[in-house]
Structure 1
Amino acid sequence: MYQFNFGPVLDNIDMLLHGAWLTVRLSFLAMVIGLVVSLLGAVAKTSGVRPLSWLVDAYVEVIRNTPFLIQIFFIFFGLPAVGIAMAPNTAALVALVINVGAYGTEIIRAGIESIPKGQIEAGRALGLSPYNIFRHVVAVPALRNIYPALTSQFIYLMLTSSVVSVISANDLASAGADLNASSFASFEIYLVLTAMYFVLALGFSALFATIRRMFFTYPASR
């Protein structure tokens, strides 16, 4: 009969909570920067400028068709060969931003292309500037359409961030691995880690749901 031993977990709960905070911070930064990259990529891809579109297409295809583990290994272990060395946490952030930026680009691109051309032509007829047309006629309705898919990708990013522990970046998975190496209470540790990632995913889901209610539920009042 297996004897459960949560003692090492309870004795080092502060270590796991600190790792959870680092995961939240890393994921949030990657989401914010990745959203900017996604917007720029989507605008470039739909701009009609072929060189830009081809460049973004190449970026998206390379990232979406290679494993994230290989991408982070390339950034952390490969780039130093050409003189670009990064600390583990920096390499982890760069890898996450590049990865989510590619997927986000396609999601936002689909949202932009879902806007009827008639609405854009109506904006021009009203004398709106290209910036205001993009902001009010294209960007806001497009974000409303793709918000669920985009936030799901962000939550998946948070869960994927556990992979960065392979390069010794500081996060929840890394804290769990360190604790497991010293206590060998693998079942209890990874059971608690599973629960903690589940709670983090629910927390991000609740945050995104709140943002959706605030900005996208009542378009007539905005």
Structure 2
Amino acid sequence: MGGNVGYQLDFSVVWDALPSLLWACLGTIGLAVSGMLLAIVIGVGGVMLRDSRFKPARWAVMAFVELIRNTPFLVQIFFIFFALPLIGLRLDPTPTAILALGINGGAYAIEIIRGGVQSIGKGQIEAGLALGLHKAQVFRLIVLKPALRAIFPSLTSQFVLLTLTTSVASAISAYELTSVAQQIESNTFRSFEVYGTITVFYLVMSWLLMRVFDQISRRYFSYPVK
């Protein structure tokens, strides 16, 4: 049995829905930015607890990282959206998506940030204190920028990955590109045109984000040419 050989492409439905798709791209970026900001907060807090002297805190962070990194994101977002209401915690689709993205990205951010902090030698910190710098100055001048330089490529890659992962949020009808595309496809039955178009949209968004991050890296985190 062959496919529908009489199928004729008609991108007019995509053209008509272009404003909705473009707004949905902004929704996707909004989810990704919100999720990444939450992930960084979780990452910084997790690193502080991971390196604390309180063993239960260290164990809890390690368990959290292993749990999130070894379970599917779809299961995580379903758990938040469908299971938590059973104990009285009910969230709308978009906040659920942001929370799930933040938790998922946070598990990876903990390892990324911890690696960056550990790349700064204790001798450099001690030298800064010996020169009379305050702890805030040592953190800003000696720890922060070198650590950011070390982890920036990994953080930006994680952000791009998180942007693509937002498509999973369509499973709970959060407002983003794939969810809007599904609505358009269900109304027009133009699967090839709709999903082919958003494939290009995701590719363009990823490319633009990487170019932006590359420029930021060159301007703020590149080593000076001697």
TM-score by length of 1: 0.93
**Alignment of 1:20 onto 2:56:** no
**In the alignment, which of 134, 138, 141 is matched to residue 136 of structure 1?**
141
**Alignment of 1:114 onto 2:119:** yes
Equivalent residue runs for 1:1-222 within 5 Å: 1=5, 2-218=7-223
**Contact 2:38/2:103 (<8 A) preserved:** no
In the comparison of the two structures, how many residue pairs are matched?
220
Q: CA RMSD in A?
A: 1.6
Deviating more after overlay: 85-94 vs 142-151? 142-151
Residues of 2 paired with 1:33 and 1:214: CA distance? Answer: 25
Unaligned runs of 5+ residues in structure 1 are none
Percent identity of equivalent pairs: 46
TM-score by length of 2: 0.91
Measured against aligned partners, the alpha-carbon deviations of 1:86-134 in whole angstroms (never above 9, x if no partner) come to 0000100000011101101101111111112211221232233333333
Residue 26 of structure 1 and its aligned partner are, at CA, apart by: 1.2
Residue 218 of structure 1 and its aligned partner are, at CA, apart by: 4.7
Deviating more after overlay: 82-91 vs 140-149? 140-149
Residue 50 of structure 1 and its aligned partner are, at CA, apart by: 2.8
Measured against aligned partners, the alpha-carbon deviations of 1:22-79 in whole angstroms (never above 9, x if no partner) come to 1111111212222222122223323444333222112111111111000000000010
